[in-house]
Amino acid sequence: MRALAVWAIVAAAVAGCGGGGRRAAPEPRRALLPSGWVRGMNFTSFTAGGYARPAAGRSLRALAATGTRAVALDPYWYMRDSRSSSVEPDAARTATDTSLLVAMRRARALGLEVIVKPHVDVDSGVFRGEIAPASVPAWFASYGRMVLHYASLAQRGGATTFVVATELSSMTRYENRWRALVAQVRSRFRGTLTFAANWDEGARAVRFWDALDAIGIDAYMPLRTAAADPTVEQLVRAWQPYVSSIDAIRRAAGKPVLFTEIGYGSRTGAAADPAQPRGRRSASAQARAYEAALRVWSRQSWVRGILWWDWPAREPASGDEFDPGGRAAERVLRRWNGAPPQ
């Protein structure tokens, strides 16, 4: 009976229903998520000083009010094209060290766990998971300088988790180079280490999970259903093949799983093609996708949590269609996180 009551409340949140009249003051609620679950969000900025601006502080406080308890900061460096043998910061787009330290300090003051998660983007538009540097040794030397820099910064800023790479699928075959780099990172950072693999198939290709503390997965796998605008129950069923796949990966590796990204645009069809959602705008489709993911993965004892994509380091609901802020998906997060309703 209790379970039915809980799901009825969640369904109302997803539908965005509400009555008229004066509302009583919100009461604290018990989180639906397991104890120790990483209730996380990728807190994003794509400008040099964005993380340090006053708007970023306001946005971070709004994020903490949703019951989120961990933030991933995502500094970006860039390759000119897929064959480039170096990665470089960009004066306009790469978060400055000062701004990252400001964000870490603000987050910790709000009681949030900090995760540092470096990214590489390719200016020519090639996906980072498909790069093929002309010189592999030169690329790893360059990328290593980037990663070791941020590992030291993460240690300085009090981060608890560091992600050694994000979605670099084509480079995972260089197992020994990754093992050497992970060992170097451990000499600078004392917290949890993971690698953000792209999809379950990317995680299956990694052969160095034993050198890390958790399996990281950016889980943008398509959820195929017969419906153009599926229900929560249909999405839950569509997740099941991936539950089996990821369970096999983690059994083989002997490590827990942290979803370093799951995200959905506020559009119909977002769950069918999470990376490139197409369709009409639909906050309810985004909310149903959040609800289904939380129902599925919170039941798996080997999953540590989810870092959702994404919450911009500016006022929420500011045009980023992946941003749950101010939308029905935020109400879903609040319910699962145990935060007071808006």
pLDDT digits (tens, 9 = 90+) for 41-99: 999 999 999 999 999 999 999 999 999 999 999 999 999 999 999 999 999 999 999 99
Length of the chain: 342
Q: What are phi and psi of 64, to 5 degrees?
A: -60, -30
In terms of C-beta density within 10 A (0-12 exposed, 13-18 middle, 19 or more buried), how is residue 176 classed?
exposed
pLDDT digits (tens, 9 = 90+) for 137-196: 999 999 999 999 999 999 999 999 999 999 999 999 999 999 999 999 999 999 999 999
Dihedral sign, CA of 117, 121, 127, 128? Answer: negative
pLDDT value at 25 more than 60: no
Is the Cβ–Cβ distance between 297 and 33 less than 8 Å? no
C-alpha distance across the termini of the chain, in Å: 26
pLDDT at position 314: 84
Count Cβ neighbours within 10 Å for each residue of 40-70 and write b for 16 or more, e otherwise.
bbbbbbebbebbbbeebbebbebbbebbbbb
The torsion of the CA quartet 27, 32, 36, 42, rounded to 10 degrees, works out to -90
Amino acid at 176: N
Please tell me the distance from the alpha carbon of residue 73 to that of residue 166, in angstroms, as a whole number: 12
Q: What is the pTM of this model?
A: 0.91
Q: How confident is the model at residue 215 (pLDDT cuts 50, 70, 90)?
A: very high
Q: What is the DSSP string of 304-319?
A: EEEEEEEEESSSSSSS
Q: What is the DSSP string of 225-292?
A: -S-SS--HHHHHHHHHHHHHHHHHHHHHHT--EEEEEE---SBTTTTTSTTS--SSB-HHHHHHHHHH
- Can you tell me which residue has the tokens 């506020």? 266
According to the 3-state scheme, what is the secondary structure of 200-236?
HHHHHHCCCHHHCCEEEEECCCCCCCCCCCCCHHHHH
Is the Cβ–Cβ distance between 218 and 166 less than 8 Å? yes
pLDDT at position 102: 98
Please tell me the distance from the alpha carbon of residue 286 to that of residue 267, in angstroms, as a whole number: 7
Vertex 128: Cα angle to 126 and 133 (nearest 5): 85
Closest to 43 in 3D by CA, of 68, 13, 12, 10: 68
Number of alpha helices (DSSP H) and beta strands (DSSP E) in the chain: 9, 10
Range 34-337 has CATH code 3.20.20.80: yes
Q: How confident is the model at residue 317 (pLDDT cuts 50, 70, 90)?
A: very low
Mean pLDDT in residue range 106-122? 98
pLDDT digits (tens, 9 = 90+) for 261-299: 999 999 999 999 998 878 899 999 999 999 999 999 999
- Can you tell me which residue has the tokens 């993380």? 51
pLDDT value at 18 more than 80: no
Amino acid at 82: S
Q: What is the DSSP string of 116-156?
A: E--EEEETT---GGG---S-HHHHHHHHHHHHHHHHHHHHH
Closest to 164 in 3D by CA, of 208, 121, 195, 190: 195
